[in-house]
Amino acid sequence: MKADKNLWILVFICVINSMGFGIIVPLLYDYGKKFGLNEQTIGILTASFSVAQFFATPLLGSLSDKCGRKPLLAISLAGTCLSFLVFAFAQNLLMLFAARILDGITGGNISVAQAMVSDSSTNEDRAKKFGILSSAFGFGFVIGPALGGLLSKFGMQVPFYFAAGIAFAGALLSTFVLKETKEREARNKNLEPRRENSESRVQNQESGKKSSDNLQLTNDSRLHHSPSTTHNFTFASLITAIKMPVIGIAVFTGFILTMAQFVMIIGFQTFSVDVLKINPTHVGLLYAGFGVTGIIMQLLVPFITKHITSKSLILLLSTAVCLVAMVLTGFTNMLIPFAGCLFIYGLFNGLRGPMLNAIIANHNDDERQGEILGVNQSYASLGQTIGPVLAGLMTMVSVHAVFFLSAFFILTGFLLTFRLRAKEKQNAR
């Protein structure tokens, strides 16, 4: 029951956090114009957040393995709150960059929240809980832009104050309401080694054979090999994680598919304005519809995993559907077919996060959940950075070419899922 209560608190925290980020996305360009922001620097400003997150997220995840999840989650949300306030009080372009970089550095809340869910989950219900968490993020991203547009009518700075306020509320919830998950797990893991040491001490006392030095040496040896031993994160983990048999392929697959999604998003924005000629309100509604389809699929994760137990098989099938939808999108020129293909892609793309996160968590050492999930999020951030840059270059060829580029990355991810399934089967033997 406590685990369920924790899950729903995390869901609420994820909603208000992603909603805070979604609020400022449609306002960045207009707000930054008065500081000299243009078409080129908006991309760099957006990328600065992802680059900072790429390096900071696995470090925060690793710290949460050693220091506990609660404090790191609270610090991350407090950093987000501060970054929005800096944005609101910005006097120049440099302050805007400082705000986005600060938010990226403290943006480890995604991996820490995922680690908390993993701590209190079993292999059977982990994908279901990751699906619920992904739905929470998706819901915040859907309603955030609309809320930001509404609040901007009261002043361009108002949405940033509101975003800071809800991030601060999340930090308070993390500090005073959320229950720590890592501490409890660590106690359980340490219980058995303590028992063994106690039994060893009693036996040695009865036999009269030991000296105090030998007892200490025995205990130190056992503690060295205890499963509670923690790992110190270094940036080499970004490379070593990729080399891990199952986890490495899952992380790289997630990176490729994230890049495909962000290539598609640039194509969506350009195609909607330049080809379909629809107004910003309709663009927002279309994007919201895309987000809702992903949420719907994530809520269906328990039903799907009940009938198909293999996470990699679900990923393979959903990626195949996404590939077909994206190829067809590249051939469309009208609103209805475009929206239909986009919604099918959004629906099945909603399975990507829960399946990959479950595969990574199921094949990971419990003592490194925060670190490895942080590495996974780092590569996702890298995909979010590279995807828009490549899409921008591809628009020089044609808008339709952007969707074909996205399809190419989806095809690469689709082929990687075959290798992922093979490695999973090999690892299970």
What's the average model confidence in pLDDT over 318-331? Answer: 96
When pLDDT is cut at 50, 70 and 90, the band that residue 296 belongs to is confident
Of 313 and 125, the one with more pLDDT: 313
CA angle 66, 72, 75 (to 5 degrees): 150
| pLDDT tops 60 at residue 223 | no
When pLDDT is cut at 50, 70 and 90, the band that residue 197 belongs to is very low
The string of pLDDT tens digits covering residues 242-281 is: 888 899 999 999 999 999 998 898 788 778 878 888 776 6
The string of pLDDT tens digits covering residues 150-189 is: 788 888 899 899 999 998 998 998 899 888 887 554 544 5
Of 80 and 368, the one with more pLDDT: 80
pLDDT of residue 45: 81
| pLDDT tops 60 at residue 198 | no
Beta-strand (E) ranges in 313-361?
A: none
Q: What are phi and psi of 364, to 5 degrees?
A: -110, 150
pLDDT of residue 183: 59
Of 44 and 412, the one with more pLDDT: 412
pLDDT of residue 385: 80
pLDDT of residue 323: 97
CB 293 within 8 A of CB 350: yes
pLDDT of residue 288: 73
* pLDDT above 70 coverage of the chain, percent: 83
pLDDT of residue 135: 79
pLDDT of residue 280: 60
DSSP 273: H
> From CA 260, how far away is CA 386, in angstroms rounded?
10
Of 198 and 32, the one with more pLDDT: 32
Chain CA centroid to CA 329, Å: 26
